Amino acid sequence: MSIIKLKPGFKDYMWGGHRLVEEYGKDFDGEILAESWELSCYPDTPSTIVNGVHAGKTLRQYIEEQGKGVLGTNCRRFEDFPILIKLIDAKSDLSVQVHPDNEYALKNEGQTGKTEMWYVLDAGKKSFLYFGFRKEISKEEFMERIEKNTLLDVLEAVPVKKGDIFFVESGTIHAIGKDILLAEIQQNSNVTYRVYDYGRVGADGKKRELHIDKALDVIKCVPADRNRDFYPHMADCDYFTVDKLTLDGDIMEEMKGCVSDASFMSVLILDGCGTISNQEEKLDFKKGDSLFLPAGSGSYRIEGTCTGLITTIREAKDKAEKLL
């Protein structure tokens, strides 16, 4: 079997909604579904294989049994599975937060840092997100504004619409706003330092924890670069490369390619339906499906009317660097 369909793990964070169930067909019984982890080897929220001889195994179990060769030669530099792919439904505002880089996270948290990208799937008419600072400020001013509850006054509030792309490097202050639905591709990490949370109370009746000291260590108090160009890709860095899949059933009826020994390929279907096939099998897919093609699985063909995200791992630009 060389085309694997995955069932996601779920997160019911308090700010979530129910659109991932209603619009993306997620099999979840709770009232709030904030995130579905579509491609995940993270220990507490893994993806699970639903087809073929490996059905019922987690993606991590499959990789451990088959060997890291299924990830590809470009993944040899990583000690663990390199990425995490999510769908996120923000019915309410997420906390204002920042993620550390690899060096800081490995030293202080025992896992990697977090650089990520967002692709906006839908947004309300007045939706916006915070992305970096409006102007450069000192860390002294940053602390003063936290103490005086005026931090939001110096953050860049960016209106968003369907199709927008954001590349969020570690150290960038940010917050996804309410009524935004998006796909997130990130490093395989769950380290987040909250700096502002609107005074919200958690399930335990207490205000949710902030992480001001650690945030101060890692934050870049400067404007974020909104105009980065990764052409011909949607996003491209040493951790992941993301490309758009668009088939209209007319002019673009199919996509053909080859999954080489260099990298696995993830396909996240955002809309529509179709089939994916290779020399061994043919598999139907629909909106919300997550597919994993192991490295070295060879040629494939995608047919249908659909849009999606294709994620691979390229060779590191600095070949001497080992990325964890």
Q: Residue 288: CB partners within 8 Å, gap ≥ 6?
A: 20, 23, 24, 25, 26, 87, 269
| Catalytic site residue from 19, 60, 134, 194 | 194
What sign for the dihedral angle of Cα 106, 112, 117, 119? negative
Distance CA 156, CA 133 (A): 5
* Residue 309: count of CB within 10 angstroms of its CB: 22
What are the tokens at 86? Answer: 């999510």
Amino acid at 217: D
- Is 194 a residue of the active site? yes
What are the DSSP E strand ranges found in the chain?
A: 4-7, 9-11, 35-39, 48-49, 83-90, 96-98, 116-123, 128-133, 155-159, 165-168, 174-175, 180-187, 193-196, 235-236, 241-248, 254-259, 265-278, 282-286, 290-293, 298-312
Task: Indicate which residues carry an active-site annotation.
Answer: 194
